[in-house]
């Protein structure tokens, strides 16, 4: 890493925290902040209204242990026991031989939907039909799936790992979870189920966060400035 970061070229990070850590540890100032961005064309035309009595929760990404699947499973078992009116959607590919999809199916029955791999119109409709994005990961950077879901007003319920907490503020535009803690997942989902006002407020704030901080126009502008210094 010291050798790479000693090169005379710009380096890009996705959060201010990462940038300062690299600057301090490797004594380099040639580090620039450039978070991911997503296409916001459809999202700009959409405003989510929380009306359904059932909360549809979406997990979007690789289905494997490091994404916190075991803790999510325990949390959903507790939510089922507490009779919370929720439905869990999985979209993505399962990796490894952990049988998470079958295990969630057996646990939740018709409260679980496996959507497969989603893209294009299918993904857009799924984002419109869900209200909460769940990501209890053990490790992350800044997931594109998080930005995509927030752009359609899904409330992020996510672990405080990687660069996430630089963009998701607990109780402001989402809810932050403890790592490896199914209880915090249950508490977060219960609070959203019990208060539709909270769900709606966080939804609006999540969407506004993406519009103000992750626009492609802003991304290209910053990237061009980085190229000029290369």
Q: What percent of the chain has pLDDT over 90?
A: 76
> Cα Rg for the chain, rounded, in angstroms?
19
Contacts of 57 (CB under 8 A, 6+ apart): 86, 87, 88, 89, 130, 131, 132, 133, 134, 157, 189
Name the superfamily (CATH) of residues 43-213.
Answer: Glycogen Phosphorylase B; (3.40.50.2000)
Q: Which of 9, 39, 1 is nearest to 226 (CA)?
A: 9
Mean of pLDDT values over 204-226: 93
Q: What is the pLDDT of residue 3?
A: 84
Q: Which of 106, 102, 100, 110 is nearest to 72 (CA)?
A: 100
Domains of the chain, residue spans: 2-35+215-228, 43-213
Query: If you ran DSSP here, which 8-state letter would residue 28 be given?
Result: -
The whole model's pTM is what? 0.92
pLDDT tens readout for residues 113-130 = 999 999 999 999 999 999
Q: What is the pLDDT of residue 26?
A: 87
Gap between the Cα atoms of 230 and 227, Å rounded: 5
pLDDT tens readout for residues 147-199 = 999 999 999 999 999 899 999 999 999 999 999 999 999 999 999 999 999 99
Gap between the Cα atoms of 8 and 229, Å rounded: 10
Residue whose structure tokens are 């915090």? 184
Asked if pLDDT for residue 23 goes beyond 90, the answer is: no
Q: Model confidence at 41, in pLDDT bands (50, 70, 90)?
A: very high
Backbone dihedral angles phi then psi of residue 191, each to the nearest 5 degrees = -65, -35
Q: What is the pLDDT of residue 195?
A: 94
Mean of pLDDT values over 222-229: 88
Q: Which of 66, 16, 54 is nearest to 166 (CA)?
A: 16
């Amino acid at each position: 890493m010291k050798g790479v970061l000693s090169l005379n070229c710009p380096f890009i990070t996705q959060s201010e925290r990462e940038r300062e850590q690299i600057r301090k540890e490797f004594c380099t100032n040639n580090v620039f902040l450039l978070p991911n961005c997503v296409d916001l064309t459809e999202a700009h035309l959409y405003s989510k209204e929380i009306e359904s009595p059932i909360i549809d929760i979406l997990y979007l990404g690789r289905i494997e242990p490091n994404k916190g699947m075991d803790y999510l499973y325990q949390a959903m078992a507790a939510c089922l026991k507490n009779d919370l009116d929720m439905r869990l959607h999985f979209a993505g590919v399962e990796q490894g031989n952990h049988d998470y999809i079958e295990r969630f199916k057996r646990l939740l029955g018709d409260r679980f939907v496996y959507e497969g791999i989603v893209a294009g119109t299918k993904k857009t409709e799924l984002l419109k039909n869900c209200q909460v994005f769940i990501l209890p990961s053990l490790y992350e950077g800044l997931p594109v799936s998080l930005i995509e879901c927030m752009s359609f007003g899904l409330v992020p319920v996510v672990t405080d790992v990687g660069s996430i907490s630089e963009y998701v503020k607990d109780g402001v535009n989402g809810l932050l979870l403890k790592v490896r803690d199914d209880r915090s997942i249950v508490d977060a989902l219960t609070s959203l189920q019990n208060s539709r006002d909270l769900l709606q407020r966080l939804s609006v704030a999540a969407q506004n966060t993406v519009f103000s901080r992750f626009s492609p126009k802003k991304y290209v502008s910053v990237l061009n400035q980085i190229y000029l210094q290369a």
